[in-house]
Structure 1
Amino acid sequence: MPRRPPLLFLFALPALVVFAAFFCLPMARLLAVSVGGEQGAGVYWTMLSSPRYLHSLLVTVLLSGTVTLATLLIAGVAGTFLQRHPVPGKPVLVAMLTFPLAFPGVVIGFMVIMLGGRNGLLAALGDQLAGERWTFAYGLAGLFVGYLYFSIPRVILTVMAAVEKLDPSLEEAARSLGAGPWGVVRDVMLPALMPALVSSGAICFATSMGAFGTAFTLATQLDVLPLTIYNEFTNYANFGMAAALSVLLGAVTWALLALARWFSGDAVAATA
């Protein structure tokens, strides 16, 4: 009589199929394309030794890290306040704060242009006040605003859920022992919220690393890795380098997510 497969394997099979179809096979294809060009495996040495590609990676990592820190600060404070205080119309306010999740990157880029582009709101205001048109949409500042806009909703929901689970008695005990407001935040709330902050921050960082639509809408010459990959593939037909850069982008993002999972245990959301 043939043995039946373990029940746990049957439950895990759909996840294994999805993992193979959407990660293993595309990554294997990228590796094959990257070493299939004229340079062969040397394309990776060219990528790692070229100041241009390294600068693109550095800019992308620094931008994503800055966006992540700003998002954690803003969403951490806002999420804690909304969860702890009875704000009038809170369901509507939370819905408005999370509404950017419904927008694709192209729409967010267009909104940044409407705010800080050559004919945007800030340009018109600067023309009236100072006689010059203020713009920020077409550089890293515009990317920062756009990435921040779609990153805050991803973090604020996680923070609100984590704050809801905090034990108020621990904060009361800290106050009874003489801790001030900042002491309670530093010694009680932050350690308790750290797994949620790390996990949501990792997702924020990974999303910013790979965001393409917003950057492409603002300017195709911005020196961030997704646009560098696009230019290598589309403008220069350098398919091997484009594939190698894609592998590099995936490796850096995966390493960050793995580090976050190791640091925060099982708190890293599955939506990563």
Structure 2
Amino acid sequence: MRRRGWLFFGAPAAALFTAFWALPMLNLAWVGAAGREGDAFGAAYWQVLTQPLYWRSLGNTVALSLAATLATLLLALPVGRFLARHPRFPGRATLVALLTFPLAFPGVVVGFLVILLAGRQGVLSSLTEWLTGEPRAFAYGMAGLFVGYLYFSLPRAIGMVSAAAQQMDPSLLDAGRTLGAGAWRRLVDIELPALKPALIGAGAMSFATSMGAFGTAFTLATQINVLPLTIYNEFTNYANIPVAAALSVLLGLATWAVLYAAHSLAGTRGGAGG
């Protein structure tokens, strides 16, 4: 029976994993290693590892993704806790609908909304021109991408934190209050440990989404290089497919490394705290 169950469920899963992940990834790595005709084996990887342009692009991408992830968690935590603690209040359905509204937009539309807010003809530009006589726009650099990534990641993180907070046992908070623990102490000692899996999951989702985001970056990043755009330029504008493949492998490895470090750190802290 166990063997039949494995064949029934495991074999299709293994086939899908092989066809849609393992083989494409292996082929991607091979394309980067083989290079173009006449290139030495691994020349594309060597070029990626030795060119400062690619390292700056990777650094911008990681720094931006980490900043967006941190801001997402800092904002999602109080909002998610509030929604979990107040399941019924006037306007709650409207508030939740507004918070989740960005999920309906692709990255290009999110980038366009940031331009309408902070572009050269945007609301903030008109406001600063009226106040100071000089229009100011920040949509096309690091700040604009940060706002776009935050706008895109925040609804998902709020949903995850709110769902986890609703599953908490309220008697634990009541016990802490009875023992004299203040609101801050209850948050640190009771709520955050209970919400840690949701926060880790939300942070991982936000970081991975920001690292690979293309539509928002394609719309906004005219003053900064990020890795998805660098890969796109190498592939389409320069027809340098081996370097584009090598950069794709680098992007995947960098994302995996940061996520692995975050999970390991959270596990270490959790074990120490227990």
TM-score (norm 2): 0.89
What corresponds to 1:120 in structure 2?
122
Q: Out of 230, 241, 244, which is 1:242 matched to?
A: 244
Are 1:68 and 1:205, in contact at CA under 8 Å, matched by a contact in 2? yes
Shift of residue 12, structure 1, vs aligned partner = 2.8
What corresponds to 1:231 in structure 2?
233
Rounded Cα–Cα distance in structure 2 between residues aligned with 1:168 and 1:4: 41
Are 1:202 and 1:256, in contact at CA under 8 Å, matched by a contact in 2? no
**What letter corresponds to residue 224 of structure 2 in structure 1?**
L
What corresponds to 1:12 in structure 2?
10
Equivalences, count: 263
Shift of residue 263, structure 1, vs aligned partner = 6.7
For 1:49-85, what per-residue CA distance to the aligned partner results, in whole angstroms no more than 9, with x for missing partners? 3222112111111110110000001011101111102
What corresponds to 1:67 in structure 2?
68
Answering whether residue 79 of structure 2 is matched by residue 81 of structure 1, we say no
Rounded Cα–Cα distance in structure 2 between residues aligned with 1:72 and 1:115: 23
Answering whether residue 168 of structure 2 is matched by residue 166 of structure 1, we say yes
Rounded Cα–Cα distance in structure 1 between residues aligned with 2:32 and 2:154: 35
For 1:209-262, what per-residue CA distance to the aligned partner results, in whole angstroms no more than 9, with x for missing partners? 000000101135521110111111122222111100001111222344455566
Shift of residue 135, structure 1, vs aligned partner = 0.6
Which blocks of at least 5 consecutive residues in structure 2 are unaligned?
Answer: 268-274
What corresponds to 1:42 in structure 2?
43
Rounded Cα–Cα distance in structure 2 between residues aligned with 1:40 and 1:141: 39
Which blocks of at least 5 consecutive residues in structure 1 are unaligned?
Answer: 266-272
Are 1:232 and 1:239, in contact at CA under 8 Å, matched by a contact in 2? yes
What corresponds to 2:271 in structure 1?
none
Are 1:61 and 1:209, in contact at CA under 8 Å, matched by a contact in 2? yes
**What letter corresponds to residue 201 of structure 2 in structure 1?**
S
What corresponds to 2:105 in structure 1?
103
Q: Out of 208, 211, 215, which is 1:209 matched to?
A: 211
Rounded Cα–Cα distance in structure 2 between residues aligned with 1:136 and 1:39: 43
Rounded Cα–Cα distance in structure 2 between residues aligned with 1:84 and 1:8: 43
What corresponds to 1:268 in structure 2?
none
Structure 2 counterpart SS, 1:71: helix
Shift of residue 125, structure 1, vs aligned partner = 1.1
What corresponds to 2:26 in structure 1?
28
* Identity in percent: 59
**What letter corresponds to residue 48 of structure 2 in structure 1?**
M
TM-score (norm 1): 0.90
Rounded Cα–Cα distance in structure 1 between residues aligned with 2:53 and 2:162: 41
For 1:86-127, what per-residue CA distance to the aligned partner results, in whole angstroms no more than 9, with x for missing partners? 332212211221121111100001110011111111111112
Are 1:105 and 1:212, in contact at CA under 8 Å, matched by a contact in 2? yes
Are 1:67 and 1:148, in contact at CA under 8 Å, matched by a contact in 2? yes
For 1:130-165, what per-residue CA distance to the aligned partner results, in whole angstroms no more than 9, with x for missing partners? 111121100010000000001001111110110011
1:147-162 mapped onto 2 (5 Å cutoff) = 147-162=149-164
Rounded Cα–Cα distance in structure 2 between residues aligned with 1:190 and 1:118: 41
Q: Out of 191, 194, 197, which is 2:193 matched to?
A: 191
Rounded Cα–Cα distance in structure 2 between residues aligned with 1:103 and 1:9: 40
The 1:13–1:94 alpha-carbon spacing in structure 2 relative to 1, beyond 3 Å, is farther
Rounded Cα–Cα distance in structure 2 between residues aligned with 1:221 and 1:122: 19
What corresponds to 1:54 in structure 2?
55
Rounded Cα–Cα distance in structure 2 between residues aligned with 1:218 and 1:237: 23
Rounded Cα–Cα distance in structure 2 between residues aligned with 1:87 and 1:4: 50
